[in-house]
Structures are given as structure tokens and as C-alpha cells.
Amino acid sequence: MGIDITYTDSGQGPAILLLHGYPFDRSMWSEQIDFLSGQGFRAIAPDLMGRKGTIITMDQMARDSAALLDELKIEDAVVCGLSMGGYVAFEFAHLFPARVRGLILAGTRAPADSEQEKQTRFQQCEKMLAEGMEPIADATLPKLLAPRTLAEKPDVVARVREMIVKADPSGATAAQHGMAARRDYSGDLAKINVQTLVIVGREDPIRPVADSEFMRDQIHNSRLEIIEDAAHMTNMEQPEAFNQALPDFLRLIH
């Protein structure tokens, strides 16, 4: 049985699969979609949290992304994931190594959750099912965005807030359960044999720089880009800096 996936497909050329974070949607990539399609690439960005059910696993999100590429007749892609999208990218690389031309891992990490982190997710699920997404937005914005973004970029703050508030609490809950159940990807890192760009915000309290240094150290052909004046949402907070890192990296591959 097929599933419906909402997605953006923009530009022509080698494909870049853009996998969003939690609890966001593909609109978080709009600056990268415009940039990449203007640079001769084809940007594909699915919404990942649309499945019905009590859990959406990282494996399902990766398989759904591969099914989308099948539908679009795309053999392989550079796979770029931010945070939860990074976990999906790890699963995608594990399941479909031949379809991965390169990896971009932004604001993510390899290890699985601790018991405490799982409990925190389940508490958040109860809260969002009972109260909706507004309180989640209020509580998480100061961690998602750097102080400078919060003070100087009201449009970015508003966009991030709107994505969270618009998210369906049952889809977000299912994704939280999927993240809690995800495996430890640390053992996968040394097996990655494609060029990899690791990106992190200097001020990310959610997935700090040390998580990215670990990935850079374990993945053979990798480099690390630290984005200043950004926390978790590097690609939205500092789109110029994020985009600037892409062409050199993509030229290594294509």
C-alpha cells in the first residue's frame, strides 16, 4: 500500500535530499532549496511526519524518503539531514548505501537516547497531546535559536515558531516515539565511505559542537563546519554561511 508524502522538488541536476528536523517540516529548507536549485542541483525535501500511527521510526522515514526518490526516478542523492533528519540520514545510509553520493549531517548526533532523555520525550508527548504545540514552541525556541537570532531576526523566530505551532501533535508524538526508539549510530560512522560534511551551530545547546566533533573524528572523509551566531537551526539562522559551505563540498562529489 502506498503512502502520501508531501514534498518539494525544485531544480535540475544532481539530487540533494533534504531531511528536516523535529518538530518541523520541509519549509525549514526554503533558503537551501532556492540556493541549490539556482546552483544546478535538484533539491528534494519531503515532509517526514505524515504517517498515521503511534510511532514513526527513523527506519520508516528513511524508507519513505527512498520511496519518494523511486517515484521521482532518482537513483542516488547527497543526503542532508538536520537533527532528526540526521538520524534519518544515518538509517538511509545504512539501508541504501549505494544510493548515497555524500552526506551532510547538521546539528545531529550518533548516540541513542539515555533513559532520562527518553522519559523527557514521553513527558513532552503528554504535554503536546493535552495542550497543543504552543507551550512546546515557547519552551524550545530559546534552545533552538541563538541569542542573536532571537534578538535580531524576528522573521526567523516567527517562521520557526509557526512551524512548531502548525505541527500535528499526533505526528509529533509519533516522531518523538520513533526518536526514543532509535538505535545508536556510533558504530555506523566508521563504515561511512562517502564524503561527509558535518555542520553545527557554535551555540547549539541541543546538539553541542562536541557531538559533531565526534562524528567528524569517526567518519573517514569528513570535514566540520562550525557556524557562528547560530544554535540548532543553523540553516535558517545563518542561511548564507550554511549555503556557502555547500558548493565546495558538493564539488568534491560531482
User: By the criterion CB under 6 A, which residues form the site for ligand MLT?
Assistant: 21-22, 83-84, 179, 206, 232
Helices (H), the chain: 30-38, 58-71, 84-95, 115-131, 134-144, 147-152, 154-166, 169-180, 209-218, 234-237, 239-253
Nearer to ligand MLT by C-beta: 12 or 114? 114
Least Cβ distance, residue 101 to ligand MLT (angstroms): 23
Q: Strand order of the sheet with strand 15-19?
A: 7-10, 42-46, 15-19, 77-82, 100-106, 196-201, 222-227
Residues 175/121, Cβ–Cβ less than 8 Å: no
Residue 113 main-chain phi, psi, to 5 deg: -75, 150
How many CB atoms are located within 10 Å of the residue 159 CB?
Answer: 17
Going by DSSP bridges, is the β-strand pair 77-82/15-19 parallel, antiparallel, or unpaired?
A: parallel
d(CA 226, CA 81): 16
Least Cβ distance, residue 37 to ligand MLT (angstroms): 24
Least Cβ distance, residue 235 to ligand MLT (angstroms): 11
Least Cβ distance, residue 152 to ligand MLT (angstroms): 22
Least Cβ distance, residue 206 to ligand MLT (angstroms): 5
Residue 28 cell numbers, joined: 525549514
Nearer to ligand MLT by C-beta: 101 or 121? 121
d(CA 89, CA 78): 10
Nearer to ligand MLT by C-beta: 21 or 171? 21
Nearer to ligand MLT by C-beta: 99 or 207? 207
Nearer to ligand MLT by C-beta: 21 or 50? 21
Least Cβ distance, residue 81 to ligand MLT (angstroms): 9
Strand-pair partners of 80: 18, 104
Least Cβ distance, residue 160 to ligand MLT (angstroms): 10
Nearer to ligand MLT by C-beta: 48 or 68? 48
Residue type, 212: S
Residue type, 214: F
Nearer to ligand MLT by C-beta: 21 or 201? 21
